[in-house]
């Protein structure tokens, strides 16, 4: 025969469960203290959490472009379904927008290029990132910081992650593309809203 819990034991069990739940809510709330933005696209919305502590220069840079309205009307101009989607610097007619000066690479911040993370795009010059960013659609460990000895090993700065709208990212990653991995039908960044 099963032994029933005494009222005191039952009350302690319930109280423990409530405390665990409450601490989980507080922890989750602490995680959302990071800045958040919503990228409104022609395919739907993508909400990002930005890692201001780990990548302060990149986050400040991205937020400045967003607040200035720079991203409004740009496109995801490079889409590789097994790699990433890149945007934030080209107009629908593939004209490059004029940017501010480049920022310092913060890829040595410990964050990894895993699915759903957002990173700064750059050229072979380690410190050449300006406005363009990409969202990893797969684990892209080859883009992680390894060493400071050359451009490839320096890596690409992860500065945020998708917290809602990964289905939209996946819709974008599978659009038909042409030469240069440019979508045949423009995927427009209508605006970037800060929260």
Q: How many domains does the chain have?
A: 2
CA atoms of 56 and 68, how far apart (whole Å)? 18
Averaged pLDDT for residues 8-14: 61
Say yes or no: 85 and 178 in one domain. Answer: yes
Say yes or no: 26 and 93 in one domain. Answer: no
pLDDT at position 141 over 60: yes
CA atoms of 77 and 182, how far apart (whole Å)? 5
Say yes or no: 60 and 105 in one domain. Answer: yes
Say yes or no: 26 and 44 in one domain. Answer: no
Q: Tell me which residue of 180, 181, 161 sits closest to 172, measured CA to CA.
A: 181
Q: Give the model's pLDDT for residue 27.
A: 42
Full-model pTM: 0.84
Say yes or no: 159 and 186 in one domain. Answer: yes
Q: How does the average pLDDT of the chain come out, rounded?
A: 90
Say yes or no: 146 and 173 in one domain. Answer: yes
Residue 58 maps to which CATH number? Answer: 2.40.100.10
Q: Provide the pLDDT confidence category of residue 8 given band limits of 50, 70 and 90.
A: low
24 burial via Cβ count (<10 Å: 0-12, 13-18, 19+): exposed
Give the tens place of pLDDT for each residue, 108-128. Answer: 999 999 999 999 999 999 999
Say yes or no: 44 and 116 in one domain. Answer: yes
Say yes or no: 6 and 76 in one domain. Answer: no
Say yes or no: 20 and 47 in one domain. Answer: no
Give the tens place of pLDDT for each residue, 17-72. Answer: 555 554 444 444 345 589 999 999 999 999 999 999 999 999 999 999 999 999 99
Say yes or no: 23 and 113 in one domain. Answer: no
Say yes or no: 20 and 66 in one domain. Answer: no
Domain range enclosing 5:
1-31
Say yes or no: 163 and 72 in one domain. Answer: yes
Is-contact 192 141, C-beta < 8 A? no
Residue with the bigger pLDDT between 145 and 29: it is 145
pLDDT at position 4 over 90: no
């Amino acid at each position: 025969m099963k032994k029933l819990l005494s009222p005191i034991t039952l009350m302690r069990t319930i109280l423990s469960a409530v405390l665990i739940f409450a601490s989980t809510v507080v922890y989750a709330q602490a995680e959302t203290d990071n800045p958040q933005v919503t990228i409104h696209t022609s395919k739907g919305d993508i909400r990002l959490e930005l890692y201001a502590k780990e990548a302060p220069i990149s986050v400040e840079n991205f937020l400045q472009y967003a607040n200035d309205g720079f991203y409004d009307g740009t496109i995801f101009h490079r889409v590789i379904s097994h790699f990433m989607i890149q945007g934030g610097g080209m107009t629908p007619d593939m004209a490059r927008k004029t940017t501010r000066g480049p920022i310092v690479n913060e890829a040595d911040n410990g964050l990894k290029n895993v699915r759903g993370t957002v990173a700064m795009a750059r050229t072979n010059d380690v410190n050449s990132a300006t406005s363009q960013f990409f969202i990893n659609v797969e684990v892209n460990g080859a883009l992680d910081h390894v060493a400071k000895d050359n451009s490839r090993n320096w890596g690409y700065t992860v500065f945020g992650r998708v917290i809602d709208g990964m289905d939209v990212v996946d819709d974008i990653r599978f659009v038909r593309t042409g030469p240069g991995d440019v979508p045949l039908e423009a995927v427009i960044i209508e605006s970037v809203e800060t929260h």
